[in-house]
Every structure is written in structure tokens, then in C-alpha cells.
Structure 1
Amino acid sequence: MSDLIERSLQRVLALQVRLYACQARLGGFTDAEALHDLRITLRQLRSLLRPMRGLATVDALEQAAAVLGRLTGPLRDREVLMAELERMGLARLLAFDQKAHARAFAAVASSRELAELIALLDSWPVAWREAARRGQLRSVSKRIQRRLQRQQAQLALALRDPAHDRHRLRLLIKRVRYAGETYPLQSGLDRAALARLKRAQSALGDWHDHLQWLAQSEVIEALHPCREAWLQGQLAAEERADGALIALFGDFPLGE
């Protein structure tokens, strides 16, 4: 078995252990970071698997992680909003039911989606080794490298689109950055490029958060007092994002 195939197996097993820990923390409502850590674990699992889509045993596992990510998204968005209101000293504007929050965490811990993902993870090592034995994972490193090159080419084009969509750029940057961190050899990205991607992602994430909060303030009257501050925050995030995006041009030239 190649080093990459074995490392991929070890990474998935390590992420599975973290997933079990997150499940226990959610079920016991032990800390405020449990959901965030769960979503980071899912992100890292998907970053590992996405460039290998189409290979035996990969697609179902990657899709199950994506489904759980979508399930937990609204709950995480609520957490981020409440943290922003606390930062502004305005947590009183929205009622926060601690018991309801604990029930929501417990529902994630006992969800069918999480159970299905764990079942797939339990059976994955045997299936992965069998796929390797049958020769189904040949040239996996070259396959990953081609996928990452396509992602980077898409980002290079999107960066130079005069009518670029910040939502799409945010998604592309996230994928390129996480893939680069997961597969540094295949991506060809150095630490400086990854740091620039992280800055751009952070600015675009800040912009996205403010956009979501402003949308909620349109329908939730209690949030109206926050609108001016959030609008200013959105404009500042746009400015930071534009500068961070320009800094990426040299890392992602056209035709590479």
C-alpha cells in the first residue's frame, strides 16, 4: 500500500475519533465549542475525500459528511449571531433558551445523519484496504494533483472576473485552502500562499456573516438597532476582502 493511501487511512481514523468525542460533548452539552469542533472535523474529512471523488468507498462517505454539515449549519449560524450580539453588548435583543440549545445539541448527537456517517466510518478501513488490494487506488496521487490543479484554475479565473461573485469566490477559496492544507505536496502551495488564502477567506467570511445578519434584521424587528453597525461592518469587510483577493493574483496566475 502506498504511503498516501496509508496516510489517508490514518487521517480518516483520527478524524473518526474526534467525531466520537464531538458526539459525546454535544450529547452532554459540556461546552460551547462542541458544535464548532464537529463542523471543523467534517470540513477536514471532506477536504481529504473531495479530491478522491469517484474512487471506491469515497463518495458515500463524503456525501454523508456533507449532509451532516448542512444539518448543523443553521444551529452554528445561530451561535455566531448570539456571539456577535454578546460582543456588541446587545444579547438581550434575542431570547436565548439554554435548555432549548442543549436539546438542539442533543438532537445532533442522536441524529440519523450522524449515526449514518459513523456507520460508514466504521466500515471504511476494510473497504479502503480492499480497494487498494484490488488496484482500484492506483495513481491516486496524480488523480488528487489533477483535481487540485483544476480547483486552482477555477479560482484564478474567478479572481479576474470583473463581475465576480463573492459567494462563489468564498467557496472556491475555502476548497483550495483546505485542500492545500490536506495535500501540501499535490497542491504545490507554500505556507505564504496558504496564509494569503486564509486572510481572504476570513475577510469574505466576515462579509458573509454581516450579510446574513442584515438579512435577519429585515425580518426580526428586535435586530433593527444593529443594522447600521452591521452595514458598516459589511462595507469594511468588503474592502478587506478586495485587498486580500488582489494579493492572490500572483499565487494563482492564469494558464497555470
Structure 2
Amino acid sequence: MGGGVDGRGDARRRRHRLQRGDAYRRGADAVRAVDEAGPAERRELLRGVGRPADAGVGRLGREGRRLLAEAAHAAGRSDAEALHDFRVALRRLRALLGAADVGRLERRALRGLLRATNAARDAQMELAWLARAARAPLLRRARLDLRPDPPRGVFPRFRALHRDILESLGEGGRVRKAAARSAFAKLAGRLRRLRKRESSRALHRARVAAKSLRYRLELVGPVEGLPSVGLLRSLQKALGEVHDRDVLLVDLGRWRAPGALVARARAERALSLRRARLLCSRDALRKRARRAA
């Protein structure tokens, strides 16, 4: 009798491995097709990746395959928004894996890729700001000093993760509302610290926590007692503008920029910080953050 049970268990495990292998191959084919296609074909393929018609593939796998394809698409582009789109897809992949509580090692690897592209993202932001400010001499100096392209190994490292991510998504996990609640508890803690000290680091960490909660809520839908996606998006935007000006002000000082330019960056930072404070005072965040304490 015991041998029969073990035999059935072995058969189930073999079946599960085969299903995971099939899911991986389908996902890898979809990602490869998007990676190798031309612009028009890519758009059509991206519309198809992750449709409910993918028989036998759960929502988790469909969404993961769609995000992998989007990241691969962005990695092959050279336009101004390519790095931004690549980073958004990676962050959403991390949120998806975290909300399903799978792929711990893959989440860590994705975080490493995001950190590796931070400097390039900041450089692109600074160069765009200086171009809008029409400061040609300073813009020329910044172009010599900053590196707006991500490190060469980032995209190959991402492609090497495809298989592991797809296998993690095939492990049978599901997106849980509890993941959104735990993300809100983290945001509540960050907001409490902000009330004590508004350091650049504390503001940035609150922004990251708001973004993480927003992505998880977009996956699971509204959760009673948690703030709306719209409120979180506004808070994330305001705190992001504060962070961008903090980064910019450091380099403006290093480049000995004209006082008027520094004053402009400081005024923009102050305006964004005031907007962030107003959003943090909204009942949806203030009262619920106290309850989460």
C-alpha cells in the first residue's frame, strides 16, 4: 500500500515537472519572439502575450510572461524611454513574485539589476532637466561627467534570469491580498519615520514603499482599509520629484552651477515636498498608518 502511494506521488511530481517545463518553453518562446521582432511585430506580439486564451497557464504565469516580454522589448530599444520601461517591467516582476511569495532568489537578482541601472536613470533625468533649463555650457559638462547608458552586462544578466523566473512563476503560487497588507505595514512605518525626520534617505524609502504597495494593489485589486492606487501614484510621483532634485542638487554643487539654477532646483524640490506632505496628511494614509502601527 505504501509503495502505491509513493508511486502516485512520484507520478504527480513528474507531471508537475513536465507542466513547468511546458510553461517555461512557452514563456521562453514568447520572450524570444518579442526580443527578435521588429517594432510593428513587437507591438502585435506584446498584445498577444498573456491573453487568457493561453490554455493551462494561470494568471500569475500570464502576467509574468507579459512582463518578461515587455522587459525584453525595452532592452532591445535605444529610445529615451527604453531604460525607464525596462526598469518598470523589472519592478513589476519583483512585485508579482513577491505577491505570490515565490522566486526569492530571482527577486534578489532583479533588485540587483535595478540598482545597477540607478546611476544611468539618474543621469538621464539630470541631462533632461538641464536641456529644459537651456544651459548649454553646463549640459556639455554634464554629458562628459554622467553615464546615461546602463552597464554593459545588465541586459545579458536579465536574459539569463528568464528561465529561473518562468520556473518560479510555474510553481503554483497565487497573488495574495495579504501581500498588499504587509506592503502597507511597511509604508506606514516609513511614513511614521518621516514625521520625525525628513531626510533624503527617509523620503526615498517612503517612495519605494509607496511604489511597492501600489504595484501589489494593481495585482490584487482594491483591499478594504488600504489607500487607493491613485493616491499612492500621486504620493510616489511627488516623492520621486523630491528625490530627483536631491540627486540633481548634489551634482549642481559639484559642477559649480549658477546660483539661479540651484535656486530653481531647490524651489522645485520644495514644491514637490509640500505636495507630498499634503498627500501624507490625507485620511486614507494618516489614520490607516496609525492603525497599522
TM-score by length of 2: 0.68
Shift of 1:8: 1.0
Q: CA deviation at 1:145?
A: 2.5
Residue aligned with 1:89, SS:
coil
TM-score normalised to structure 1 length: 0.77
In structure 2, list runs of 5 or more residues that go unmatched.
1-15, 17-51
C-alpha contact 2:124 2:148 (8 A) present in aligned 1:
no
**Aligned residue number for residue 245 of structure 1:** 280
Instruction: Tell me, in whole angstroms, the C-alpha distance in 2 between the residues paired with 1:153 and 1:216.
Output: 34
What RMSD in Å do the two structures reach over aligned CA positions?
3.1
Mapping of 1:97-246 within 5 angstroms?
A: 105=149, 108=151, 111=153, 113-126=154-167, 128-129=169-170, 131-132=171-172, 137=173, 140-141=174-175, 144-161=176-193, 162-164=195-197, 165-184=202-221, 187-188=223-224, 193-222=228-257, 225-246=260-281
Find the counterpart in structure 2 of residue 35 from structure 1: 83
Q: What are the residue-to-residue correspondences of 1:26-65 with 2, within 5 Å?
A: 29=78, 31-53=79-101, 55=102, 58-65=103-110
After TM superposition, the runs of 4+ consecutive aligned structure 1 residues lying more than 6 A away are 96-101
CA deviations 1:86-140 (Å, max 9, x no partner) are: 1212243122798999x964x65x51x43233233135434543x33xxxx4xx4
Higher relative contact order (CA 8 A, sep 6+): 1
Would the aligned equivalents of 1:170 and 1:205 in 2 still touch at CA under 8 Å? Answer: yes
- Measured after TM superposition, the shift of residue 189 of structure 1 is 7.2
The C-alpha deviation readout for 1:18-64, integer Å capped at 9, x for no partner, is 12212221xxx3x11111111111111111112334x3xx1222122
Aligned to 1:81: 126
Q: Contact 1:203–1:241 at 8 Å: present in 2 too?
A: yes
Contact 2:123–2:148 (8 Å) recurs in 1:
no
Partner of 2:58: helix, strand, or coil? helix
Q: Confirm whether residue 7 of structure 1 aligns to residue 59 of structure 2.
A: yes
Aligned equivalents of 1:250 and 1:227: distance in 2? 33
Q: Residue 95 of structure 1 aligns to a residue in which SS?
A: helix
Q: Is the 8 A contact 1:218 1:224 kept in 2?
A: no
Instruction: State the Cα distance separating 1:166 from its structure 2 match.
Output: 2.0
**Percent of paired sites with the same residue:** 24
Of structures 1 and 2, the larger Rg is shown by 2
Equivalent pairs counted in the alignment come to 232
